[in-house]
Every structure is written in structure tokens, then in C-alpha cells.
Amino acid sequence: MGYQDIIRQLALEDERIVVMTAENRAVIRELPQVLGDRFIDVGITEQTMIGMAAGLALRGRIPVCHALTTFLIMRAFEFIRTDVGIPALPVKLSGFIPGFLSDANGPTHQALEDISLMRGIPNMEVYCPADEEDMCGMLRDVWTIDKPSYIRLVTKATGFRHSAFERGKAEVISVGEDINIMVAGFLFGEALKAYEILSRMGYSVGLINMRSLKPVDESIIVSLAQTNSLLVTVEDHFITGGLYSIVAETLLKHRMTAAVHPFAMKDKWFRPALLEDVLRYEGFKGDQIAQNIHEVLQNENRYAELGTI
């Protein structure tokens, strides 16, 4: 069952749900016929869409706002913060082509600060599913809770069978003694490959799907830090404010430290190209991640430099 199927199912079950879009219909083309006046396309007016969503939520609706992430989150940021965040209305932001998924569009479309911006808003929850199956497994929970939320959409399949979603909990695939890879979002597929490669190389590797970023699973971060392994964060987000920051904040809160090796965009936008090229160029393919981690573990100097990014 895909994204459009799950929206259709949830909306038909619950008439409070209305689907809004700023003319981004690519993955929801069948919804107008199914939802009738509960499908509201406002044209290219992200700010108005969010204000209207707040008004609809005041009336008891659950608006799902589907738009390209950069414009949804950044053009309309102050509307989200002010009209949705302050009153904590259950508006459900659904961000299409976040991070690397904007592939060849160029930096105007690269949402690499969306997690940082959204988790800074009080009451706003932030979810970062690994793949389409993972996303569809969480939408019912995420959309029926009476809070605002932001979800990074992923319409790609990995074939991985995910465990049941729980708000505020990471999906722990395994915990390793040498390396533990925490990943947020669609890079799960690459992290999974890195996990397999490193395991074949003889390392004891853990893999953790950090699909609930706010609320975040603090206990798994703390327990991984206690393993004395190399912690790795993988995200298609700026290094500031995303998963790496969340891990750092959590460790500090618990008066802990750890060796943490981040894969993130370090104060730059990525080179626009088709997705596979982007991943290769920026060093986020599974084999590159594995090789990079291996080098850090083999090289005392590089290990010692962690934290000096």
C-alpha cells in the first residue's frame, strides 16, 4: 500500500481529514475524485494553505498539507510557527522531495534545514521514515494524534520489513559492539548496505532507524553511547540542527560523550544531479559510507579528529 492509498484509506475512514496542496499533485493525482471537496488545491500559495489549514483545524478538521518541502517549510515558515505552532493545532505537514530527493532541481529545492526548523517549533513533532513502507506504517499514528507534525515523505521502496511504529521510539534493527549506525530518512537503504558490508568485513555493527526525531528515542542514544562503539549518524540534512545535533544534545543532556562520526551536508548545498549521481558525488552510497567508517576505525588520527568537523 502506497502513500496515496493510505491517505485515501485514512480519509475515507475519518471525515475530519482534508488534504490540501499547493498544486503539488504528482503523487496524489487520484485524490480529487475520491475526496471531493475535502481535496483543496490552493494553487501556488503555501502561506495561504497553512493559514487555511489552521482555520480548518480550528473547526475540528485534520488538514494534511502536501507540498514540496522547501516551499512548504520555508516559504510558509512563519505561518507554520505562528498559526499552527502557537495554538498547537493538528495540522499535518507532508513534505515532498526533502533532502537529496530533490535530486537535480538545484539548491532552491534542497530542503536540508527542514528538520532543524520544524523541531524548533514547540509542540511540532518530526518524523523521518526510512522508505514508503515505513512511512505508511506510521501515518495513521502520526495523523490521528492531536498535535501538529511534519513528516519527510519517502515514496521509495527498499523491501525491508520494518517493525511496528511507535512514537518516540527508534527501530532498532541491531546493536553492534564496534559500530552503531543511526540513520534518519531514505538514506536508510544506503545505511543498510553499509551495515551489510561492514558486517562482512568482520565488524560488529548496529543499525538504528531514527524514524521518530521529535519526540526522539533518548534511551537508545544513551544506551548506544554506553557501548563504547563508534556512533555514526547518517542524514541528508545540514549538519546543524538535524540527527547529529539531536544526538549531541541528547548526550549533553545526559552528561555523556561518545565518538560520533556524522554523514551530513557540512555547510554546503549538494551538487544537483540525478539521485544516484548525487549520492556517489557526495559520498553517501552504502559502499562509500562503509569504506569511510572503516578508514576512521583503521586510522587513529582520523578517529581522534571526530568532533572537529
Binding stretches for another protein (CB under 8 A): 37-38, 40, 42-43, 45, 47-61, 63, 78-79, 82-83, 86-87
Q: How far is the CB of 182 from another protein (least distance, A)?
A: 37
**Nearest C-alpha neighbor of 92 from the set 72, 108, 109, 75:** 72
How many Cβ atoms are within 10 Å of 144's Cβ, its own excluded? 15
Question: Computed over its alpha carbons, how large is the radius of gyration of the chain?
Answer: 19
Tell me how far apart the alpha carbons of residues 118 and 50 are, in angstroms, rounded to a whole number. Answer: 14
Q: Give the H/E segment covering residue 234.
A: strand 230-238
Cα atoms found within 13 Å of the Cα of residue 290, Cβ hemisphere only: 22
Q: Which is nearer to another protein, 15 or 287 (CB)?
A: 15
Q: How far is the CB of 303 from another protein (least distance, A)?
A: 48
Q: Which is nearer to another protein, 123 or 291 (CB)?
A: 123
Q: Which is nearer to another protein, 18 or 216 (CB)?
A: 18
Q: Which is nearer to another protein, 60 or 159 (CB)?
A: 60
Q: Which is nearer to another protein, 82 or 227 (CB)?
A: 82
Tell me how far apart the alpha carbons of residues 88 and 70 are, in angstroms, rounded to a whole number. Answer: 22
**Nearest C-alpha neighbor of 88 from the set 59, 56, 122, 112:** 122
Contact 214, 184 (CB under 8 A): no
Q: Which is nearer to another protein, 46 or 178 (CB)?
A: 46
Q: How far is the CB of 63 from another protein (least distance, A)?
A: 8
Q: How far is the CB of 62 from another protein (least distance, A)?
A: 12
Tell me how far apart the alpha carbons of residues 81 and 298 are, in angstroms, rounded to a whole number. Answer: 45
Q: How far is the CB of 32 from another protein (least distance, A)?
A: 14
**Nearest C-alpha neighbor of 293 from the set 246, 223, 209, 234:** 234
Q: How far is the CB of 82 from another protein (least distance, A)?
A: 5
